[in-house]
Amino acid sequence: MVKVKVEFMGGLDVIFNKQRMHQVLIDGGEVTIKDLIDYIVAEMISNKNDIGVFVENGTIRPGILTLINDADWELEGGEEYVLEDGDIISFTSTLHGG
Amino acid sequence: MSFVPPSDPVNRAKKIKVSQLCEICHCRKALIRRPKNLQRICKLCFFHVFETEIHNTIVCANLFQKGEKVAVGASGGKDSTVLAYVLKLLNDRYNYGIHIVLLSIDEGIVGYRDDSLATVKRNQVQYDLPLEIVSYRDLYDWTMDEIVACAGVRSSCTYCGVFRRQALDRGAAKLGISHVVTGHNADDMAETVLMNIFRGDVARLEKSTAIITQSSGSPIKRSKPFKYSYQKEIVLYAHYKKLDYFSTECSYAPEAFRGTARELMKNLELIRPSCIIDIIHSGENLILKPKKSSKNELRSASEQQPVEVRSDGSVKLQRNTTAGFIDGGKCERCGYLSSNRICKACILLEGLEKNRAKVSLEKDTSVAGAARLTRALERLSF
């Protein structure tokens, strides 16, 4: 079981009941970011029509910035990164107007 | 609504491999992979390269003169917030000697602009910069909400775009400022280049990558210091610096065509991150073939041109077509810069006013909308 903090920013909080910060508990031995994304899609998006705002073709939608402890997830192994207790995962949309 | 900064990480990497180190300073863990060149760099080096690139853009294009007053078109969104912050920082660091003012437009969109203006007001305090707000209500006697109620959601961007362009100029003129900087970034510019290609709009294509735009006869020039800054890096910068910005999409329908171009570019960026800067580079190097020989022009000038009769019975003035678009004309009604007898904003307002008159008759209110608007426009003096 792993306990992480998930943050939705840049307007993404709209599809999570306007709540920006979430504590997430996921069961399992090695939990990866991929598992976290599946969990978010299955359990946390209140309106299923909004799923396309967050994921596209099975992964995070292009234009959403994913950070693991403030580091670009591409540098941490992307979807294969194994979560640790206390990690902060943030998703920030860059798609809104300037 | 107050500002809550993003949380700081509590977990620190225990052991860092050499391959994880920043490629610039080689001493801290890399956190970012730059989309431009795929370089892996740390937070502090990122701040340095991001700011220095903007400084280089400003110096190379000779954007600012010492003592110049500059208005930052501030919407409260990420781009303009980062722009105001970085400009102030660079102005202090490199001593440009410019005076920065925040200039905001209040379109009158409840639930969107009122919240973003609250952000701008906080920015004003955070960065200690003067702020001026110009509203559609004061300038045109209409808010965007009323316009949408009257003309429908589909054309909202047309109205808003035409009005905002004028409003920024008028706001700047009111403050005695002749230079407006906007937060348009590399993604926006590449998007515009693509859209102009898709539409075959060659005339705009050549101009779309210019860093400074100014119509001749207009006292106000506009510039885009973020021309080469990626949207992703701007958002990262705001994130790491914990800048207070507003991020909600406008409540009215976004322009469908631009949305599709943006989607296409985001997908391209995934495969080849440098494509955004490459599109701008391509755009910059496209030069239009000069227009055909003067023979055709002579012939067309001698031919009888069809006369355009407008809906109000006025006639379009004949002019020398060889000169093409003529800059420097003035709108007969509001005095704003226009290539036609009456500027686009006044034409749109006229259309709106006709609708409003009908509505008020049905509700039997004695307010004569047209007269009120004329009076409001008469009162304007800049």
Which residues in chain A touch residue B40, judged by CB atoms under 8 angstroms apart?
75
Locate the chain A residue with the closest alpha carbon to B270: A62
B174 shares its domain with B214: yes
Which residue segments constitute the domains of chain A, with CATH numbers given?
Answer: 2-93 (3.10.20.30)
Minimal C-alpha gap between B79 and chain A (Å): 5
Backbone angles phi, psi at A65, to 5 degrees: -90, 125
- Whether B338 is covered by a domain: the verdict is yes
Q: B20 with B122, same domain?
A: no
Q: Which residue has the higher pLDDT, B206 or B21?
A: B21
pLDDT at position B370 is 43
Give pLDDT, residue A3: 94
- Mean pLDDT for B117-122 is 93
Whether B237 contacts B50, CB under 8 Å: yes
pLDDT of B294 reads 58
Q: Is B79 annotated as a binding residue?
A: yes
Q: What is the mean pLDDT of chain B?
A: 83
Q: Model confidence over B3-37: pLDDT tens digits?
A: 888 888 888 777 888 889 999 999 999 999 999 99
Residue B290 — pLDDT band, cuts 50, 70, 90?
A: confident
> Looking at the structure, do residues B259 and B369 belong to the same domain, yes or no?
no
Is position B197 within any domain?
A: yes
Q: Is residue B296 part of a domain?
A: no
Q: How far is A43 from chain B (nearest CA, A)?
A: 23
- Between B2-16, B217-231, B360-374, the lowest mean confidence (pLDDT) is in B360-374
Residues B277 and B307 in one domain: no
For B71, the enclosing helix (H) or strand (E) is strand B69-73
Is B244 labeled as ligand-binding?
no
B368 plus B230 within the same structural domain: no
Residue B50 lies in a domain: no
Q: How many CA atoms lie within 13 A of B361 on its CB side?
A: 7
Domain membership flag for residue B298: no
pLDDT at B230 over 90: yes
pLDDT of residue B368: 39
Q: Kindly report which listed range (A57-66, B340-349, B365-374) carries the lowest average pLDDT score.
A: B365-374
- Write the pLDDT tens digit of every residue in A14-57: 889 889 999 999 988 899 999 999 999 999 998 888 898 899 88
At B54-79, the pLDDT tens digits run 999 999 999 999 999 999 999 989 99
pLDDT tier, B364 (very low <50, low <70, confident <90, very high otherwise): very low
Distance from CA of A6 to the nearest CA of B (A): 10
| pLDDT, position B367 | 38
| B365 and B226 within one domain | no
Question: Does a structural domain hold residue B297?
Answer: no
Average pLDDT, chain A: 90
> Would you state the pLDDT for residue A62?
87
Band (B1; pLDDT cuts 50, 70, 90): low
B232 and B313, same domain (yes or no): no
With contacts defined as CB-CB under 8 Å, which chain A residues touch B235? Answer: 10, 65, 92, 94
- The yes/no answer to whether this complex scores an ipTM above 0.90 is yes
Ordered DSSP codes for B265-316: HHHHHHH-TTHHHHHHHHHHH--PPPPPPHHHHHHHHHSPPPPPB-TTS-BP
Structure confidence at residue B320 as a pLDDT band (50, 70, 90): very low
Least confident residue range of A7-16, B176-185, B236-245, B322-331: B322-331
**Is B230 a domain residue?**
yes
Q: Note whether B84 and B180 are same-domain residues.
A: yes
Under an 8 A CB cutoff, do A98 and B33 touch?
no
Q: What is the DSSP letter of B250?
A: -
Q: Which domain holds residue B312?
A: 303-317+327-379
Q: Is B188 annotated as a binding residue?
A: yes
Number of domains in chain B: 3
Size of interface A-B (CB pairs under 8 A): 91
Contact call for A97 and B250, based on CB within 8 A: yes
Residue of A nearest to B236 (CA): A65
Cα–Cα distance measured from residue A13 to residue B211, given in angstroms and rounded to the nearest whole number: 34
Which segment, A21-25, B137-141, B303-307, is predicted with the most confidence on average? A21-25
Across the range B78-107, mean pLDDT stands at 95
User: Would residue B370 count as lying in a domain?
Assistant: yes
Q: How far apart are CA B269 and CA B231, in angstroms?
A: 11
Asked whether residue B98 falls in the same domain as residue B191, the answer is yes
What part of B 281-300 touches A (C-beta under 8 Å)? none
